[in-house]
Amino acid sequence: MFVDDVDIEIAAGDGGNGCLSFRREKFVPRGGPDGGDGGRGGSVYLRASAHLNTLINFKYHPVYRGERGAHGEGSNRTGRAGRDLYLDVPVGTVVYTKPDNETVEPHDAPVKLVDLAVIGQVWQAAAGGDGGRGNQRFATATNRAPRRVELGHSGDTCTLRLQLKLLADIGLVGYPNVGKSTLIARLSAARPKIANYPFTTLTPQLGVVRMDDERSFVLADVPGLIEGAYAGHGLGHRFLRHLERTKVLVHIIDISSLTGRDPIEDFETIRAELTKFKGGLETDENDTPHLARKPELVAANKIDALDEPERLERLQAHLNVLAIPFYAVSAASGEGLPALREAMWSTLRNGTPSPTQANTFGKPAESA
């Protein structure tokens, strides 16, 4: 089960109380105070782990508490410190404050606290409370038998919102059933569910595309978008946050006539949804959302089922005006995929495809 958004409650351990004690031994008539300090409470940390890919553990166990420090003891013995608690989260987890009022306006978004984007990165979510001082701490020349002690200090408490944003180099976007899952399965070892009905893909999928021994990149497939996704239609736009970390977007367009939709309208609709999604990242000086500023490629898929060539010609002409690289492919047969794969790598490395790369439509089919 894929979970990418949870709220958790965290409470660090309280410090132990200081001890009120006096040394009482035979032949030591003036032993004096010897009450030890309380131990410090255990802190709570979040740690990025490469072995997790979902926040599901936090969904069913949302409350975490650090261990309390032990109380001080006589003979100047300090109480044992509470053990720190480390919570492993997937790499790519972003931590936000949780608003007290869930009906806040959109501009009153939770505050971002930390982005755990590096394997092994550790962040202190709540600090343990200090231990209280024992009475031996208050002995002075004029107060040799103090009966004053301190209680342990309370540990920090907080409610956090964890959101997972997958780490991928290139993201696939498009309408449902345009062949994104087939494409990622063809290019990588990922094995997403593939079926001929809308919204087959319900959660983001990752796959590693290996060009050769020295070249590889991570490809992400997010659930299909439809018009009005920004307003919650279909699966909504909640999965678009997984594209915020990608460096390149690849639009997958169904070029066949089976859908009954116009490919140019499909492309512009998806671009509009990307523009309306601002997510948690900054916009530029022109208020352009982050996703709309990424390099784009277009893959016209299902050319093996193309029965109206003018559909492909009109889409290519439209993209030429926008100066967006265009590739005609078939994820099912493998035609055009080598050129698309090289274009992905070149755009990832240089921000644009290599000038020598050309659209493969009309040439002999190439195997993937």
DSSP codes joined into one string, 170-195: EEEE-STTSSHHHHHHHHSS------
Considering the domain architecture, whether residues 224 and 325 belong to the same structural domain is answered as yes
Is residue 80 domain-shared with residue 131, that is, in the same domain? yes
- In this structure, are residues 237 and 223 in contact, taking their beta carbons and an 8 Å threshold? no
Show which of 115, 134, 164 is a domain's final residue. 164
Q: What is the mean pLDDT of the chain?
A: 84
Q: Examine the domain organization and report whether 15 and 1 are in the same domain.
A: yes
Tokens 């009966």 belong to 147
For the record, the structure tokens of 190 come out as 């990922």
- How many other β-carbons are positioned within 10 Å of the β-carbon of residue 52? 16
206 plus 131 within the same structural domain: no
Query: Do 248 and 218 fall into the same domain?
Result: yes
**Span 243-267, average pLDDT:** 88
Would the pLDDT of 361 be above 80? Answer: no
Same domain for 192 and 114, yes or no, is: no
- In a domain? residue 358: no
Q: 61 is in which domain, residue-wise? A: 1-164
Distance CA 368, CA 364 (A): 13
The number of domains in the chain is 2
User: 11-24, pLDDT tens digit by residue?
Assistant: 999 999 999 999 98
Indicate if 155 and 255 belong to the same structural domain: no
Reported as a pLDDT band with limits 50, 70 and 90, residue 108 is: low
Residues 149 and 200 in one domain: no
192, part of any domain: yes
pLDDT per residue over 110-143, tens digit each?
789 999 999 999 999 999 999 999 999 999 989 9
User: pLDDT digits over 278-293, tens only?
Assistant: 654 444 444 445 677 8
Q: Do 9 and 154 have their domain in common?
A: yes
Q: What is the CATH number of the domain that holds 180?
A: 3.40.50.300
> Which residue type is seen at 366?
E
Q: Is residue 364 part of a domain?
A: no
Looking at the fold, whether 33 and 156 belong to one and the same domain comes out as: yes
Q: What is the distance in angstroms between the CA of the first residue and the CA of the last residue of the chain?
A: 31
Q: What is the CATH number of the domain that holds 125?
A: 2.70.210.12
Give per-residue pLDDT as tens, 38-92.
999 999 999 999 898 889 899 999 999 999 999 999 999 999 999 999 999 999 9
User: What residues does 293 pair with on adjacent strands?
Assistant: none
Q: Which class for 46: exposed (0-12), middle (13-18), buried (19 or more C-beta within 10 A)?
A: buried
